[in-house]
Every structure is written in structure tokens, then in C-alpha cells.
Structure 1
Amino acid sequence: MKKLLVLILVALPLMAASAHKYYFSVTQADYDVKSKSLKIVTRVFYDDLEKVFQERYDKSIKVDKTYDQEKLDAYIQKYFNSKFIVSINGKEQKLSYIGHKDEVDYVVCFVEVKNITNPQSIEIENTLLMDMFPDQKNVIHLQVGNTKKSYLLNKENDKAMLKLSE
């Protein structure tokens, strides 16, 4: 009986820890000198995005292939415009939403900032999903030429800044 009690006391916290859901997104942002644009690819878990959309916009939204893809793209674009801010040389830039594709567990979103000449600094503020999930972490990998830097953003620190003039 004692062994069973010890097993239960040890196993329950371990099972609870393994059942805990992690909240994170990954963004790759690369400056393309030829096209003078910052190409951004963000991966977000589809169920987290769906929950945010249902809470913010419409309970009937499904983030999958069964839902009207034009409407889904409009929601993704609207959400990115409010939660993903890019500034070049201290000036906020307009995002150009390109589209999305579905992967196994996540949605891949494609965004671009066009007409960038001589970037001295790039700042990305990424608060995707942070208002819904307090433990949300957003990873950003930023590359400009040979300069590469990675950032781990959270609710207290939601901005990544790469200064190229240093």
C-alpha cells in the first residue's frame, strides 16, 4: 500500500507536467537585398490561432481547410496587423500579407515588408497570442546578410531589435 501511495504521489505531478501545453510561435525574418524586402515566415499552432480568432472575431471560425480560405486569410491579416509590428530605422512599416499554408500542427503565415533601402535597424514587436495565453513565447530569427540573431520574446519583453550600424 505504501509503495502505491508513493507511486501516485510521484506519478501525478509528472503526468500533470507532461499534460501541460506549451505556447510558442517561431518567426524567420530575412532581409533580401535584391528585392529590398524583409521576408517573414511565422509558424503558429493552428488550435491556438483558432482559439484567439473565435474569442476575438467569430466563434464559427475554423483554422483548417474546411473554412473559407479567403475569410481565414482576412482574419490572419487583420490579426497580424494588430499584433506584429515591424519598424525599419525607427519608422513603422506596412505589412504585406502574402498568404498561409497548413502544416501538420501549425499554420505557416507569409508576410513581407517592401521597399526597404539601407536598413540600419530592424525592430520587430511580436505579441501574437500573448493576450490569450500569458505563457506565450515567440521566437524570432532575424537575418540581414551575414548578421544573424535570435530572440525569445514574452509578455514582458515583446520586441526584438537588430542594429546593423554597430
Structure 2
Amino acid sequence: MIVNRLFKMKKYFYISGILTLFVLMSFIYLDFFSSMTKVDYIDGSKTLKFTTKMNTNHISDAIKINPNTAGFEAEVKKYVNNNFDVYVNGSPKTLTFTGSQVSGETVWVYYETGGISDISTLRIKNTILLSAYPKQINLVNIAYKGKLKTMNFQRGKEVNEVSF
């Protein structure tokens, strides 16, 4: 009887140990795929200014270029231009890139579009890193005349629109 009870306890601890190991292993490699874009309306210049923050390794893998090479900045700008579209009141807007920088694990890209006197609707198509990373989530925070709106993008939801 004691031997039987010891065997059951040993079996219980063995199964508990394996389950604990599986749970711990699931947290060992947890990579989070996201980008964040901040959009600010500058009333004086009638401009929307965009700042996009991405993970350096993720964008580097997507565009297949080392972030320490001279051509990295140009390729990142081209990539963002091909994967981010803006429509103000139904009209497409051209994005002008104003700079970028690599700061360790983060790449910052700066761009803008001008000639915007009033926004009733803002539609954005954001496919940044969605083809490279299936679980990628892109957030866009928009500040317009004291109002703050947030959009999120993922596979299957690449286009979003807000009204002001």
C-alpha cells in the first residue's frame, strides 16, 4: 500500500514537472512584432507629421539589408513608402520623407504630408511588416485639433478609417 502510494506521488510529481517545463518553455522565446506610428497635425503649416517606430532586427530581416550598411536608410524609407498610404477626406496624399535614424533596437522614420486645412476622415493603409510577420500589429495614434484617435492594423485588417 505504501509502495503504491509512493508510486502515485512519484507519477504525480513527474507529470507536474513536465507540465511546468512546457509552460516555462513557452515563455522562453516570446517575440513581439509591432510598429507604432504617431501622427500630429500641425495647424500653422497645415501638415500631418508622421513618426514611425519599428524594431531594427524585424525591418532589417524584412528588407534583407544589414542596418549598419549605408543603404539601410534608403531601403527603410522605400519600404515604408510602399507599405503606408494616407487618404484625407477620401483623397490620396503623397508622403515626403524627412529623415530616419537607427537607435540600437529601434528604427525611427519621419515623414509628412502637407496642404491639409481640415480633416473630416482619415483613412490609412498600413501593411508594415505584415507580410514578414503573421502576428505583426501596427498601431497608429492620431492627434488632430485636441482629439486623439487610435487605429490598429494586422493581417486581414490592413485599412482603417477614423472621422473627426
Q: TM-score range by the shorter chain?
A: 0.7 to 0.9
Deviation >6 Å, runs of 4+: none
Residue of structure 2 in register with 1:83 after alignment: 83
SS in 2 for 1:42: strand
Structure 2: which amino acid aligns with 1:163?
A: S
Residue 18 of structure 1: CA displacement?
4.1
Residue of structure 2 in register with 1:67 after alignment: 69
- CA offset digits 1:56-100 (Å, max 9, x no partner): xxxxx212xx311xx222211211111000111111111111111
Residue of structure 2 in register with 1:95 after alignment: 95
SS in 1 for 2:52: strand
- Cα distance in structure 2, aligned partners of 1:89 and 1:9: 54
Q: Does 1:20 align with 2:30?
A: yes
Unmatched runs of 5 consecutive residues or more in structure 1: 55-60
Residue 45 of structure 1: CA displacement?
0.4
Structure 2: which amino acid aligns with 1:67?
A: T
Residue of structure 1 in register with 2:5 after alignment: none
% identity of equivalent residues = 23
SS in 2 for 1:40: strand
TM-score (norm 1): 0.86
TM-score (norm 2): 0.86
- CA offset digits 1:89-115 (Å, max 9, x no partner): 111111111111222321111111122
> CA RMSD of the aligned region, Å?
1.5
Residue 120 of structure 1: CA displacement?
1.9
Larger radius of gyration: 2
Q: Is the Cα–Cα contact under 8 Å of residues 43 and 107 in structure 1 kept in the other structure? A: yes
Residue of structure 2 in register with 1:160 after alignment: 160
Instruction: Judge which range, 82-91 or 97-106, deviates more.
Output: 97-106
Unmatched runs of 5 consecutive residues or more in structure 2: 1-9
Q: Is the Cα–Cα contact under 8 Å of residues 140 and 160 in structure 1 kept in the other structure? A: no
- Cα distance in structure 2, aligned partners of 1:30 and 1:18: 37
SS in 1 for 2:98: strand
Residue of structure 2 in register with 1:149 after alignment: 149
- The alignment of Structure 1 onto Structure 2 pairs a total of residues equal to 154
Residue of structure 1 in register with 2:41 after alignment: 31
- Cα distance in structure 1, aligned partners of 2:39 and 2:115: 15
- Cα distance in structure 2, aligned partners of 1:17 and 1:153: 25
